[in-house]
Amino acid sequence: MKELAEKTLWLIPLLPLAGFVINGLFGKRMPKAAVAAIACLLPAGSLALSIVAFRALHEAGGPVTAGALSWIHTDTINVGFTLRVDALSALMILIVTGVGTLIHVYSIGYMHEDEGFARFFAYLNLFMCAMLILVLGDSLVLMFVGWEGVGLCSYLLIGFWFDDLKNADAGKKAFIVNRVGDFGFILGMLTLLGLSGTLTFTGLEAWVKDYAKRPDVMAGVVLAVPALLLFVGACGKSAQIPLHVWLPDAMAGPTPVSALIHAATMVTAGVYMVGRMHFLYALVPGAMDVIVMIGAGTAMLAAVIAVAQTDIKKILAYSTVSQLGFMFAGMASANFMTGMFHVTTHAFFKALLFLGAGAVIHALHGEQDIRKMGGLAKSMPVLFAFFLAGGLALMGCPGSAGFYSKDLILTSVGAHEGAAFQGAWLMLVGTAFITAFYTMRMLVIVFFGTPADPEAHPHAPGITMMAPLAVLALLSVVGGVALETHMHHALEQVWGATALEKTTAFADAHHKSVAVSWAVFFCGALLSFVLYGLRRDWVEEFVRGETGRGLHKLVANKFYVDEIYQWTIVAPVRVGAAALWYIVDRILIDAVLVGGPARLAYGVGGLVRRAHTGAIAAGAAAMAMGVIATLGWLAWRFLA
């Protein structure tokens, strides 16, 4: 099995790449059924090979690697095109290929009438290829290839309907914000390369462990620099403060794109990177304090903003930003399994919610405003049941997949002493309450009450859309209890047993977190049901009041973070760019360096031209004067 896995490992990312090439080059001339078959069967093949690799890993008891060729080779560094599967990357490729394939199948029905059908599936396949390279790469360099690949694909897919300028702008916003984070990632890589001379994960782990043993008191500070720089990159990819602003606008793309970005690919890349570089972060407690505070702060900020949103996709988008904050808080606890466990359960219920939202939008002919919905539980009961399963998991309903992973994060964060972790724990508890509140608000407004348009007749989604929802609903219900123990044992191969789990503080934090998780779920959900299901007039009256109106406007406008960035960063950059363009391009280059010599030559030519009148007598006189002057100069030189 191991030999088979080593031979076929490269096919895992190459099969989706083949789908991109085929549909990208020939898709327009092919029937839609053929395009869909190629786009779905090749990722399904990657899923099958991922299962083979997972089984080989289990049987071999160690990583499975496949090296193709040497890529960067100098006297001091050697980086190859090498793929590596261990327990961590095996988990990620199963998520990417499994959930990704379901999203591909769903997209057949959702995008069937779109003119860019083939182009959409080509981009979707490329997205999966890039993410698979990211998680399978054996070095930071190869990870960065996939890292940039998912950034490119997000730009292409968010701005897929580029005829609308808003969609094109959203794609550019995602691309540019991620470039800011990627600059930090590059600096982190270069710092590690300068310090260690290697960028392979095995080489870096050996160097970090050796470097940390030095008696130098500055060793921790030195290691903190690349750790925080790499985390800047993670903040960009995984939409954490202050680089969180791009992800809600990513809703401009088709809904399956939102599901793929939020559940199975791009936004989990930052969390995965921290888990892959665990050997570095575990030795830098100061960096962990920064990560836990940013994660918890992002989680609460995004949850509060979600309360006032009316676009169903934006509500889910802010919930993703918030849940990513939970994941980073779990990683910061050094119990890395907690963050990856939430990555897994979140992939199930967030893909379900986005695809369910897409089914609602599809049934309502493109409507995304929840205020124009209502009563859909009666007209689409099966879809409601699936959506409810995802909503309960997002809220952290006891027994659901989301409950187990959230509770483990709260326990791991609460088991740490220190102001940073205790403050983060309080923010995460508050976030869990708000999450239950805004999710129940969405469920009540969309599926209960009176339809906003009694004349509307929602059409039921087809089998290609409903079948993936059924699978994801099942995973959202049982995924937590079914996977927790297995993931715990499997991931111990990557970062070993966690000492934190054996402490009395962990046991005490677990009891406290379980009780709090139950309480915040029921209190948040009940309060939301009362306010939006029974007494919505109270909410409307509060929003119309002087205090409520201003507060609602502040939250609905995302605390004006985009506007602050616009005036403090974007506008000055644009002014500076305009000034540079005018001074450097128009004046220095065009007028002086290019136009200057031309004008000088033209002026000199004009002066010389005046001496050439075309008269023979004038020409002969000038020639005679020249001859006399030349002879006089030669005579002077001879006599001197």
| Cα Rg of the chain (Å, integer) | 31
Residue 363 CA to residue 314 CA, distance in Å, equals 18
Residue 569 CA to residue 275 CA, distance in Å, equals 32
Q: What is the pLDDT of residues 210-241, one digit of tens each?
A: 888 877 667 778 899 999 999 999 999 999 99
pTM listed for this prediction: 0.90
Q: Does 1 have pLDDT greater than 70?
A: no
Check residue 611 and give its pLDDT.
66
> What pLDDT band is residue 613 in, cutting at 50, 70 and 90?
low
| For range 379-402, the mean pLDDT | 93
Check residue 143 and give its pLDDT.
93
Poorest-pLDDT segment among 112-121, 562-571, 589-598: 589-598
Kindly state the DSSP code that residue 199 receives in the 8-state scheme.
-
Q: Do the Cβ atoms of 434 and 453 come closer than 8 Å?
A: no
Q: What is the pLDDT of residues 431-451, one digit of tens each?
A: 999 999 999 999 999 998 887
Q: What is the pLDDT of residues 37-50, one digit of tens each?
A: 999 999 999 999 99
| For range 326-339, the mean pLDDT | 92
Comparing 452 with 315, the larger pLDDT belongs to: 315
Query: Which residues, 6 or more positions from 427, have their beta carbon under 8 angstroms from its beta carbon?
Result: 296, 297, 299, 300
Q: Are strands 78-85 and 64-73 parallel, antiparallel or unpaired?
A: antiparallel
Check residue 217 and give its pLDDT.
61
> What pLDDT band is residue 620 in, cutting at 50, 70 and 90?
confident
Residue 582 CA to residue 599 CA, distance in Å, equals 20
> What pLDDT band is residue 497 in, cutting at 50, 70 and 90?
low
Check residue 480 and give its pLDDT.
87
- Residue 163 main-chain phi, psi, to 5 deg: -60, -30
Q: Does 456 have pLDDT greater than 80?
A: no
Check residue 69 and give its pLDDT.
73
Q: Is 27 helix (H, G, I), strand (E, B) or coil?
A: helix
Instruction: Report the candidate in 247, 259, 310 with the shortest Cα–Cα distance to residue 441.
Output: 310
Provide long-range contacts, Cβ within 8 A and 24+ apart, for 23-28.
Answer: 23/118, 23/119, 23/121, 23/122, 23/125, 24/118, 24/119, 24/122, 24/126, 27/117, 27/118, 27/119, 27/121, 27/122, 28/118
Using CB atoms within 10 A of its CB, is residue 630 exposed (0-12), middle (13-18) or buried (19+)?
Answer: exposed
Check residue 627 and give its pLDDT.
87
305 token code pair? 């903003």
Kindly state the DSSP code that residue 257 receives in the 8-state scheme.
H
Cα separation values, 363 from 131, 201, 263, 485, Å: 31, 47, 22, 39
**Sole residue written with tokens 């029905």:** 109
Poorest-pLDDT segment among 189-193, 397-401, 607-611: 607-611
Instruction: Report the candidate in 153, 147, 152 with the shortest Cα–Cα distance to residue 184.
Output: 147
Element (H, E) at 73: strand 64-73
Q: Does 452 have pLDDT greater than 80?
A: no
Check residue 68 and give its pLDDT.
64
Tell me the DSSP string of 395-452.
Answer: HT-TTSHHHHHHHHHHHHHHTS-SHHHHHHHHHHHHHHHHHHHHHHHHHHHHHSS--S
| For range 43-62, the mean pLDDT | 88
Using CB atoms within 10 A of its CB, is residue 145 exposed (0-12), middle (13-18) or buried (19+)?
Answer: middle
Q: Does 8 have pLDDT greater than 80?
A: yes
Residue 589 CA to residue 25 CA, distance in Å, equals 41
| Side chain identity at residue 335, one-letter code | N
Query: Which residues, 6 or more positions from 265, have their beta carbon under 8 angstroms from its beta carbon?
Result: 96, 100, 127, 128, 130, 131, 150
Residue 422, Cβ neighbours under 10 Å: how many?
A: 13
Residue 369 CA to residue 361 CA, distance in Å, equals 9
Comparing 498 with 263, the larger pLDDT belongs to: 263
Kindly state the DSSP code that residue 209 receives in the 8-state scheme.
H
Average pLDDT, the chain: 88
Q: Does 5 have pLDDT greater than 90?
A: no
| Side chain identity at residue 346, one-letter code | H
Cα 303 from chain centroid (whole Å): 18
Q: Does 481 have pLDDT greater than 90?
A: no
| For range 315-331, the mean pLDDT | 94
Q: What is the pLDDT of residues 166-192, one digit of tens each?
A: 889 999 999 999 999 999 999 999 999
Residue 445 CA to residue 529 CA, distance in Å, equals 10
Residue 26 CA to residue 122 CA, distance in Å, equals 10
584 token code pair? 């450097």
> What pLDDT band is residue 66 in, cutting at 50, 70 and 90?
confident
Q: What is the pLDDT of residues 87-110, one digit of tens each?
A: 999 999 999 999 999 999 999 988
Q: What is the pLDDT of residues 347-388, one digit of tens each?
A: 999 999 999 999 998 888 888 899 888 888 888 899 999 999
Check residue 175 and give its pLDDT.
92
